[in-house]
């Protein structure tokens, strides 16, 4: 039974289908593990135990009757604390929303429930999702699985650690500038960033709606595929027979290796060599439009974030972590013409990029140029905080500003991931490529 805590969603689902795993026993095993874990309160903001057991009992009955609703019907998962849950507080990691009680589930949670998944509870996150570090002195800072003195990455910090510490087989997070991929990379998980507007944001506390995306943090590419299908009410990508033979990969040299630390660089190079050995062809590319796209990100992200939250923030600014407050307020310095011009620059860069990489199956880059920073130093050293925060999200943000699908995979080196960026709305192809890459990297 203890093995259940380390199994993938796909394997758990197959065990339920075969009658070897009862969803009630599985859910109880996870809830007991969470409540017994010394880091429970640093990972989970709150449990939904009564709901979980009721959903598990219904899944158990469906399994006995041969009426399962999806391949992962009966599997329990965690949810980042910005997905509305009816009757359970959803506070998005901030005292500004303390006690906020939604009346309905977010649409993606409704879809997951309809597919038979079990809601374990809500996980901690960066305040209002506006940091890639996962540092949150207002609520809790989940630790990295490889270094408990380090941050776990954000903003889906608890989502990642719920999986990494074997307290959920999958966590659902959001990704605006890297918030699924950074915590996945730093905790040796698979993290899928979906294309903007592919998965519904209805009932999700926003940061920058034009860039906000939803995705799973999980153990395998198969799990990412299964979970994407559940979130949008579709069918999972067909991963059978996936191979790297004949695949063309481009390594992005522009920006992605600037100021990179030794461990992520070496891990990336080793991973690329293994992909090549499995049959992929590797080419290096320069793409000046990436720098063009990244230049106006401060305008685009902070303007929308502050425009969305200005009234709530300024009614009680003292409730916020000072570093996050300053980041929001930076949006006040830009004008409407600045914002419009920034989008025009970005749209042109996207068109150039899509034409440049049309012949490649994926573009490769290190998921993060740095390792997880020390949490105590982040709190005491402002310059260190700013430098590490910007570097943490630098590579992942490329995928967000260009409007791409992207996935991070573990390289086998602790806290070092490799990202594969695919085409906009190209998740199915990307997942097939990633499944073959996963095998090569194992």
- 275 and 416 inside one domain: yes
- Examine the domain organization and report whether 101 and 20 are in the same domain: yes
Mean pLDDT in residue range 354-364: 98
Percent of the chain scoring above 70 in pLDDT: 100
Mean pLDDT of 366-383: 97
This model's pTM is above 0.85: yes
The domain boundary, picked from 207, 232, 257, lies at: 232
Q: Give me the catalytic one of 80, 122, 184, 193.
A: 80
236-249: string of b/e by CB count within 10 Å (b at 16+)? bbebeebebeebeb
83-120 pLDDT, tens digit per residue, is: 999 999 999 999 999 999 999 999 999 999 999 999 99
Question: For residues 361 and 357, what is the distance between their CA atoms, to the nearest angstrom?
Answer: 8
Q: What digits encode the pLDDT tens for the residues 165-190?
A: 999 999 999 999 999 999 999 999 99
Range of the domain at 401: 248-296+321-441
Asked if residue 337 and residue 405 are part of one domain, the reply reads: yes
DSSP-derived pairing of the beta strands 118-123 and 76-80: parallel
Q: How far apart are CA 81 and CA 45, in angstroms?
A: 7
Residues 6+ apart with CB under 8 A from 342: 296, 299, 300
Which candidate, 132, 52, 119, 45, places its Cα nearest to that of 81? 45
- Shared domain for 204 and 271, answered yes or no, is no
> Mind spelling out the 3-state secondary structure of the chain?
CHHHHHCCHHHHHHHHHCCCCCHHHHHHHHHHHHHHCCCHHHHEEEECHHHHHHHHHHHHHHHHHCCCCCCCCCCEEEEECCECECCECCCCCCHHHCCCCCCCCCHHHHHHHHCCCEEEEEECCCHHHCCCCCCCCCCCCCEECCEEEEECCCCCHHHHHHHHCCCCCEEEEEECCCCCHHHHHHCCCEEEECCCCCCCCCCECCCCCCCCEEEEEECCHHHHHHHHHHHHCCCCCCCCCCCCCCCEEEEECCCCCCCCCHHHHHHHHHHHHHHHHCCCEEEEECCHHHHHHHCCHHHHHHHHHHHHHHHHHHHCHHHCCHHHHHHHHHHHHCCHHHHHHHHHHHHHHHHHHHHHCCCCCEEEEECCCCCCCEHHHHHHCHHHHHHHHHHHHHHHHHHHHCCCEEEEEECCCCCCEEEEEECCCCHHHHHHHHHHHHHHHC
Note whether residue 239 is domain-resident.
no
Catalytic site includes residue 174: no
User: For residue 88, how many C-alpha atoms fall within 13 Å in the half-sphere facing its CB?
Assistant: 24
Res. 319: pLDDT tops 90: yes
Mean pLDDT of all residues belonging to the chain? 98
The model's pLDDT over 126-147, given as tens digits with 9 standing for 90+, comes to: 999 999 999 999 999 999 999 9
Q: How far is CA 98 from CA 81, 114, 127, 395, in A?
A: 12, 29, 12, 33
Average pLDDT over residues 398-406: 98
- Residues 199, 116: one domain? yes
Instruction: Supply 319's token pair.
Output: 């409730």
192 within a domain of the structure (yes/no):
yes
Write the CA distances from 355 to 3, 228, 351, integer angstroms.
Answer: 47, 27, 6
Q: Are residues 226 and 339 in the same domain?
A: no
Starting at the edge strand found earlier in the chain, the sheet holding 76-80 runs 44-47, 118-123, 76-80, 170-175, 213-218, 190-193, 405-410, 417-422, 362-366, 248-252, 281-285
Nearest to 210 by CA among 326, 299, 295, 95: 299
Which residue has 């309809």 as its token pair? 114
Domain-located, residue 312: no
Residue 118 sits in the same domain as residue 159: yes
Which candidate in 155, 156, 196, 415 is catalytic?
155
Residues in the chain: 442
Whether 122 is catalytic:
no
pLDDT of residue 2: 56
Burial class (CB in 10 A: 0-12, 13-18, 19+), 216: buried
Give the per-residue pLDDT at 149.
98
pLDDT single digits (tens) 223-275: 999 999 999 999 999 999 999 999 999 999 999 999 999 999 999 999 999 99
Q: How many domains does the chain have?
A: 2
Active site annotation includes 179: yes
In a domain, 71, yes or no: yes
For 38-76, how does the pLDDT look when each residue is reduced to its tens digit (9 = 90+)?
999 999 999 999 999 999 999 999 999 999 999 999 999
Kindly name the residue from 179, 184, 303, 368 that is annotated as catalytic: 179
Same domain, 222 and 175: yes
Q: Answer yes or no: are the C-beta atoms of 149 and 376 closer than 8 Å.
A: yes
Predicted local distance difference test score (pLDDT) of residue 105: 98
Query: Per the structure block, which two tokens stand in for 434?
Result: 């990633």
CATH number of the domain that residue 101 is part of: 3.90.1300.10
Q: Which pLDDT score, from 0 to 100, does residue 117 have? A: 98
Within-domain flag for 240: no
End-to-end CA distance of the chain: 25
Give the up-direction half-sphere exposure of residue 175: CA atoms within 13 A in the CB hemisphere: 36
Q: Do 274 and 128 share a domain, yes or no? A: no
Q: 237 in a domain, yes or no?
A: no
The answer on 149 and 283 residing in a single domain is no
Report if residue 66 sits inside a domain.
yes
φ, ψ for residue 235, nearest 5 deg = -110, 145
Task: Check whether residue 225 and residue 282 sit in a common domain.
Answer: no
Same-domain pairing of 205 and 349:
no
In a domain, 223, yes or no: yes
């Amino acid at each position: 039974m203890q093995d259940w805590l380390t199994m993938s969603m796909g394997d758990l689902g197959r065990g339920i289908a075969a009658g070897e795993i009862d969803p009630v026993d599985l859910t109880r095993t996870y809830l007991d593990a969470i409540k017994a874990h010394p880091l429970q309160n640093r990972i989970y903001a709150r449990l939904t135990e009564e709901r979980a057991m009721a959903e598990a009992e219904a899944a158990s009955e469906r399994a006995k009757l041969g009426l399962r609703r999806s391949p992962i019907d009966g599997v329990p998962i965690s949810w980042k604390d910005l997905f509305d849950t009816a009757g359970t507080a959803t506070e998005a990691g901030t005292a500004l929303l303390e006690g906020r009680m939604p009346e309905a589930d977010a649409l993606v949670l409704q879809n997951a429930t309809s597919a038979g998944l079990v809601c374990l509870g809500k996980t901690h996150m960066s305040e209002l999702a506006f940091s890639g570090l996962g540092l949150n002195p207002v609520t809790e800072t989940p630790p990295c699985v490889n270094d408990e003195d380090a941050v776990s990455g954000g903003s889906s910090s608890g989502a990642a650690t719920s999986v990494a510490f074997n307290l959920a087989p999958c966590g659902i997070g959001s990704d605006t500038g890297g918030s699924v991929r950074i915590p996945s990379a730093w905790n040796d998980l698979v993290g899928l960033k979906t294309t903007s507007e592919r998965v519904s944001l209805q009932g999700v506390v926003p940061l920058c709606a034009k860039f906000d995306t939803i995705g799973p943090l999980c153990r395998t590419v198969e799990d990412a595929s299964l979970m994407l299908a559940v979130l949008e009410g579709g069918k999972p990508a067909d991963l059978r027979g996936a191979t790297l033979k004949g695949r063309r990969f481009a390594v992005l040299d522009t920006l992605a290796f600037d100021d990179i630390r030794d461990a992520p660089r070496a891990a990336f190079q080793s991973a690329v060599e293994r992909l090549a050995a499995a049959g992929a062809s590797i080419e290096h590319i320069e793409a000046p439009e990436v720098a063009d796209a990244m230049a106006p990100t401060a305008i685009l992200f902070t303007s929308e974030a502050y425009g969305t939250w200005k009234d709530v923030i300024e009614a009680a600014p003292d409730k916020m972590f000072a570093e996050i407050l300053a980041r929001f307020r930076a949006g006040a310095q830009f004008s409407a013409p600045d914002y419009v011009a920034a989008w025009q620059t970005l749209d042109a860069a996207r068109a150039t990029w899509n034409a440049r990489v049309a012949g490649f199956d994926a573009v490769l880059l290190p998921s993060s140029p740095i390792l997880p920073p020390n949490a105590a130093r982040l709190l005491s050293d402002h310059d260190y905080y700013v430098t590490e925060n910007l570097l943490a999200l630098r590579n992942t943000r490329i995928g967000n500003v260009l409007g791409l699908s992207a996935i991070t995979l573990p390289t086998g080196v602790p806290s070092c991931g490799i990202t594969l960026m695919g085409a906009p709305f190209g998740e199915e192809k990307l997942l097939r490529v990633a499944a073959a890459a996963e095998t090569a990297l194992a």
